[in-house]
Chain A
């Protein structure tokens, strides 16, 4: 046997598997943004690790791959929604600032409505369509990477890849808050 076998700590009833210290050291810092919940990231990784039950370092890297790709896909999907929301907030702030100046000069000036209708959202979406396209391309790329990793696992452990794909799909398609439920 060529591969070095690594153990992991896990209680009988635990729903997740904690990577051993030596594995965590090789993972390095998780690729998270400020404000993202490292606890949730670790929980997600623990959930995938429980399913895979990695036997060596390579399998631990697969677990990290699936975790990182799933996390990234979720993040990018949220970015698409946030682009419109952020645009709406900025447009509102700018409109407020301009109407304050106009109101100072003209007492009968009517303030424009807050841009919160579906039509406003569509307008902002049209304005941000290029960002949407770029994010869609990135999502497709992350999904392809995830599929490739699952393909690698499938070659080695066929049944496991199917379960892992299902778990990853559930986590990507559900809300972050549902992660704990998905793990149960």
Chain B
């Protein structure tokens, strides 16, 4: 059982260290858990927000009903996310390349290293779910928007 002295010491120690205090250190650690930013809400970035608005304007008439404009924004945001994911995927794939030959002066001829490529392939598999999520979001909004169209009044949305 932990003694009272030990508990008090732990509490004192915990109060001494509660993370970085300087602004620069705080700015540095706030990105610690960030890997690729694909899960972030894209419209938080002003440049991306402009891209989303531009894409939404191409989907939907500015005079359309507010609900339609909102759906167009969802479609546009999902599409901008998809573009980012595909660029990120290409960047990772760019790194899957032949490693330089292993310089070894004695022993049997070594087999090529594969660990780096495996790690990148795992990264590619991890970003798959972001693309699936964005595609589902976009397709669902497209189906709802299509329901507003007279020519597709009998259209039944199907959840995938």
Query: Which residues of A does B touch, CB under 8 Å?
Result: 1-4, 6, 22-23, 25-29, 31-34, 56-58, 61, 65, 68, 72, 75, 79, 83, 86-87, 89-91, 93-95, 97-98, 101, 112, 124, 127-128, 130-131, 134-135, 137-138, 141, 145, 148-149, 151-152, 155-156
Task: Give 13 CB contacts A-B under 8 Å.
Answer: A4-B58, A26-B79, A28-B83, A72-B89, A90-B102, A97-B103, A131-B117, A131-B118, A134-B122, A134-B125, A148-B139, A155-B143, A156-B152
A130 touches B114 (CB 8 A): yes
B118 touches A134 (CB 8 A): yes
B114 touches A4 (CB 8 A): no
Kindly state whether residue B47 has any CB partner on chain A within 8 Å: no
B residues near A98, Cβ cutoff 8 Å? 104-109
Query: Chain B, 78-119, contact with A by CB distance < 8 Å: what is the 0/1 string?
Result: 010001001101100110101101111111111110100110
Instruction: Report how far A123 CA is from B61 CA in the complex, Å.
Output: 60
- Mostly helix, strand, loop or mixed at chain A's interface? helix
B111 touches A91 (CB 8 A): yes
Instruction: Report how far A117 CA is from B128 CA in the complex, Å.
Output: 36
**9 extra A-B contacts, CB within 8 A, seeds A90-B98, A155-B155:** A2-B145, A33-B90, A61-B79, A65-B135, A90-B101, A134-B122, A141-B128, A145-B132, A156-B146
B103 touches A138 (CB 8 A): no
How many chain B residues touch the partner (CB < 8 A)? 57
B residues near A138, Cβ cutoff 8 Å? 121, 124-125, 128
B residues near A141, Cβ cutoff 8 Å? 125, 128, 132
Q: How far is the CB of A66 from chain B (nearest CB, A)?
A: 13
